[in-house]
Amino acid sequence: MKHSKNIILLLILTIFIISCGEKETTPINTEYIKKVEEHRKGQDDFMKNGEQSPFNSKEKVEFHPLKYFPADESFVFKSKLYPYDKRESFPVFGTKGEERSAYRLGYLKFNKDNKEYRLNVYANIGQGGTVYHSTWYTDQTTGKETYEVGRYLDFEFKDNMDFIYTIDFNLAFNPYCAYSPNYSCAIPLDEDFIDLRITAGEKKFHD
């Protein structure tokens, strides 16, 4: 009987030691991953079948499913928009060399691995004075795993300085010029570089 008790105590101690040695892991949000995967399926469907898709332009490019990093919720952040004091217009150049007019509206900020980063928000001035907003950036993956010009994020401006925006790099996408030379896209500026490996969102389309 005493021998059996010793064996049980030894087993309990072994389990305790093993469990203490295990590293803590971040719980996987399966609902979030499912949401991102559904978004990507919708994007693939549009790119393959949509009339406005770059793959269905006059000079067609052969379609294959877009490539992505695995969904990673650690690349989702929240931020207010911090406006810049000056809103002077300046040129932004496209990949075909054309000049566009824009101004820096402000920036979003986020913290990753105890370091703070900024993501600039631009107000672009289109034909007839129409204003639309953009965020684009380069990072340590640019030109390696990701498109050499840079990547974009959708941004919908809210006329409320207390509004909290979501920065979700899993939704980062390539501009149309990444798929076809028939398109031109704005080139991120030097100050749009984020000194971080953003292993989230869309990868290169062409190897």
- List pLDDT tens digits, range 105-149: 999 999 999 999 999 999 987 767 778 899 999 999 999 999 999
Q: Is the residue at 170 inside a domain?
A: yes
Contact 107, 155 (CB under 8 A): no
Q: Specify if 127 maps to a domain.
A: yes
The alpha carbon torsion through 137, 146, 115, 118 (nearest 10 deg) reads: 10
Of 39-43, 82-86, 162-166, the least confident: 82-86
What is the domain extent for residue 101? Answer: 64-194
pLDDT at 90: 84
Residues with Cβ within 8 Å of 173's Cβ and at least 6 positions away in sequence, in order, are 43, 151, 152, 153, 201, 202
In a domain, 21, yes or no: no
CA 79 to CA 106: how far, in whole Å?
A: 12
Does residue 73 lie within any of the structural domains?
yes
Residue 38 lies in a domain: no
Domain count within the chain: 1
Q: What element of type H or E holds 103?
A: strand 99-112
Task: Give 58-74 pLDDT, tens digit per residue.
Answer: 777 889 999 999 999 99
39 in any annotated domain: no
